[in-house]
Homo-oligomer: A and B are copies of this chain.
Amino acid sequence: MNPDPLDLWRRMMLIRQCEAQLNDAFAKNLFPGYIHSYLGQEACAVGVCAALEDSDWIVSTHRGRGHYLAKGMALKPMMAEMFGRATGICGGRGGEMHAADPTKGILGGNGIVGAGMPIAAGAALSAQVEGKGRVAVAFFGEGASNNGSFAETMNAAAAWSLPLLMVCENNLYAEMTPFADTSAAPDIAARATGYGLPGEIVDGNDVLAVTEAATRAVERARSGKGPTLLELKTYRWGGHFEGDPKAYRSREEEVEWMDRCPLRCLREVLLDGRADAATLDTIEAELTEEVAAAIRFALDSPEPEPSSALAKVFAA
């Protein structure tokens, strides 16, 4: 797997635009419910998904748009889903925390912190039984790593050598609570060894580093050697949800991390001989418009027919 860095940048910019423009929509009161913003974490989703094929599976979280877009969910139906519209990929019934696309291997988000990990392990089990080298990825936050499901998943996946990547995006906060307040050890990766799988710390704002680590872990998984835990050190630029006053952290800390913006980091690499500023600016402008169009599409889409809520409780 050797992805073109320009493609990585493009995908990160798509997510960046999506998150920034959704915040604007929220500020204008156009958005229903909460927004769990992915601003600042773009390199995590994009770096990991760059190591995957369409046929590989991912399981996302409450903070899922980055994963959805990185794994290839079409922008417009995803966006319409966020707004709960009939044109959404789930007909508007999933909403901000739930979107899926089996054709792209996207098995959904979740409103329950930690619940995605066992599900991803189940997908990895399918992959193992099938025997064609697919892998599954569980995305989750450092907060979720304090949940029992994390340990149970590591243990079972290691015991059975499941082709699973456990990707912890350590953005330092779970809602309003700093990780250090709820755990005596700072690194999630260190929890892996005791359960018999490798754990690795990666700079989650460096998309190339993430891609490389994920590629290694995917290879390990595909070749039957079992799961890997990756801890991507990153930062959630926004609050837990838009509107959160962020009293629990300093503005200095925020500035420090924003200085390490994953897009800016990659831009510097690209400008060093791989792309010129004009190209990047053009792409940015295109994506800006693409996202704006998707938001317009969502806003112009009808609300779902309320009675559609009665359907599909059971599969026929």
Contacts and interface: CB of A to CB of B under 8 A. Distances in A.
Interface of A: 146-152, 155-156, 158-159, 161, 181-185, 187, 190-197, 199, 226
Contact of A148 (B152, B158, B187, B199): B152
Contact of A146 (B150, B155, B191): B155
A151 B150 CA distance: 9
Q: How many copies make up the complex?
A: 2
Interface SS, A side? helix
A145 to B, nearest CB: 9
Please give me the 10 A-B residue pairs with the lowest Cβ-Cβ distance, nearest first: A148-B148, A184-B196, A191-B194, A151-B151, A185-B196, A158-B184, A190-B194, A148-B152, A159-B184, A159-B183
Contacts of A146: 152, 155-156
Contacts of A181: 159
Given A191-B195, A194-B193, A194-B194, A226 B184 contact: yes
B195 A193 contact: no
30 contacts: A146-B152, A146-B156, A147-B148, A148-B150, A148-B151, A148-B152, A150-B151, A151-B151, A151-B191, A155-B183, A155-B184, A158-B183, A159-B181, A159-B183, A159-B184, A183-B195, A183-B196, A184-B195, A184-B197, A185-B193, A185-B195, A185-B196, A190-B193, A191-B194, A191-B195, A192-B194, A193-B193, A193-B194, A194-B194, A194-B199
